[in-house]
Structure 1
Amino acid sequence: MIGRIQGTLIAVHPPRLVVDCHGVGYEIDVPMSTLYQLPGINHTITLLTHFQVREDAQQLFGFATESEREAFRALIKISGVGSRTALAVLSGMSVNELAQAIALQEPGRFTQVPGIGKKTAERLLLELKGKLGPDLGQGAGAAVTAQPSSEVLQALLSLGYSEKEALLAIKQISPDASVSEGIRQGLKYLSKV
């Protein structure tokens, strides 16, 4: 399979671009997040790729980072989510935002993406919960659970709060708080909600 392409960027027609590799021009569909990172025409680029073969087409998708490619692959494994929808999701939100939306179970983040309705958003949340690897959610993990915060999360969960409530409470905790102070701040926030 084609896992990576390096060549000269010769054309950009969003969401498709053409990369010349030793005289062969590859048409590659990319999410907008990758498109924004590209250099100008006639510059050398390297893209990680996903090659898809169907009855009626062979398509090549390109990504600037491994986390984008892995998120794309996780999305297309879901029944009813095709490559176009997966590209739209990655164009509408970063991988970190995707991981955070899944961790916080926020269907509203997905319904903002064109072509995704409420039912599809709920299916995405259900099927992707717990499937994004730690590398995909690094930014979300840092925003949601820092080291002492993971102990605070466990404490709040053991007190009977849902994962969504606990994660929202952790976002309100000051970053330099100890575990006991974090639990106190989390409980204070949850008592107001």
Structure 2
Amino acid sequence: MIAHLKGTLSVSGLDHAVIDVNGVGYLVGASSKTLQALGPVGGSVTIHTEMLVAEDFIRLVGFASADEREWFGLLTGVQGVGARVALGILSTLSPDEVRTAIARGDKASVARANGVGPKLAQRIVMELKDKVGGIAIGPGIGVTVAAEGGIEGDAVSALQNLGFRPPEAATAVGKAAEELGAGATLDALVRLALRKASQ
């Protein structure tokens, strides 16, 4: 599987990009948010990818972050959500906004995306709330991290960069923040969150 591409952005379209890697152009489908994050044509880019394989096609989908790629996988795991709909959701909402909407049961936000009606939005919220329940564990911890960012958001990002999944990172940081209190430094928060995540 191709996990990421590093090269030059040679084409940026409405729903795709072409990444030139040592003279080979890779056509990559992407959300509008990812395409904006790639910057201007001719620039150096690194893009996370997911390879979709079916009987009649092989397709690469690209993401600006590993977090967005993970949400793509979660969304396409919901019945009725294909790659096009998942990219539509990720074009409308950032990964943090999707996380917040799921944690709050906010189906109206999900329904703003092209191709997502009220019934499908309800199904997405219900199914993913169960699958990523760790996000909402504790007294609003997951929602606070996603919505407010700040030092806790930075700590969650640090844990994700170390390989922890978003729900695990959010839960560990929430527990660490609760134990350390409001005056905690980022370093102390990350260190305690790492211990919490490893327990």
**What TM-score, normalized to structure 1?**
0.69
Q: Which of the numbers 138, 145, 148 marks the counterpart of 1:142? A: 145
Are residues 1:89 and 2:86 paired?
Answer: no
- Alpha-carbon distance between aligned partners in 2 of 1:141 and 1:68, rounded to the nearest angstrom: 19
**8 Å contact from structure 1 (residues 97, 140) kept in 2:** no
- Alpha-carbon distance between aligned partners in 2 of 1:128 and 1:58, rounded to the nearest angstrom: 27
Runs of 4 or more, structure 1, over 3 Å off, are 138-141, 143-146
RMSD, matched Cα: 2.3
Shift of the 113–99 alpha-carbon distance from structure 1 to 2, 3 Å rule, reads same
Bigger radius of gyration? 1
Size of the alignment, in residue pairs?
A: 145
- Alpha-carbon distance between aligned partners in 2 of 1:57 and 1:93, rounded to the nearest angstrom: 27
Aligned to 1:168: none
Aligned to 2:6: 6
Shift of the 143–86 alpha-carbon distance from structure 1 to 2, 3 Å rule, reads closer
Are residues 1:18 and 2:21 paired?
Answer: no
Letter in structure 1 aligned against 2:47: L
2:38 partner SS:
coil
Aligned to 1:38: 38
Deviation readout 1:87-133 (Å, 9 max, x if unpaired): 00000001111111111111111111111111101110111004336
Unaligned runs of 5+ in 2: 136-140, 150-181, 183-199
- Alpha-carbon distance between aligned partners in 2 of 1:143 and 1:73, rounded to the nearest angstrom: 19
1:37 partner SS:
helix
Aligned to 1:131: 131
Deviation readout 1:125-151 (Å, 9 max, x if unpaired): 1110043365xxx984425699xxxxx
Q: What is the correspondence of 1:45-84 to structure 2 with a 5 Å cutoff?
A: 45-84=45-84
- Alpha-carbon distance between aligned partners in 2 of 1:23 and 1:139, rounded to the nearest angstrom: 43
**What TM-score, normalized to structure 2?**
0.67
**8 Å contact from structure 2 (residues 6, 21) kept in 1:** yes
Letter in structure 2 aligned against 1:22: N
2:67 partner SS:
helix
Unaligned runs of 5+ in 1: 147-175, 177-193
**8 Å contact from structure 2 (residues 3, 49) kept in 1:** yes
Write 1 or 2 for the structure with the bigger share of helix. 2
Deviation readout 1:14-56 (Å, 9 max, x if unpaired): 2111011111110001111111111211111100100000112
- Alpha-carbon distance between aligned partners in 2 of 1:2 and 1:75, rounded to the nearest angstrom: 20
How many percent of aligned residue pairs carry the same amino acid? 37
Letter in structure 1 aligned against 2:10: I
Deviation readout 1:153-175 (Å, 9 max, x if unpaired): xxxxxxxxxxxxxxxxxxxxxxx
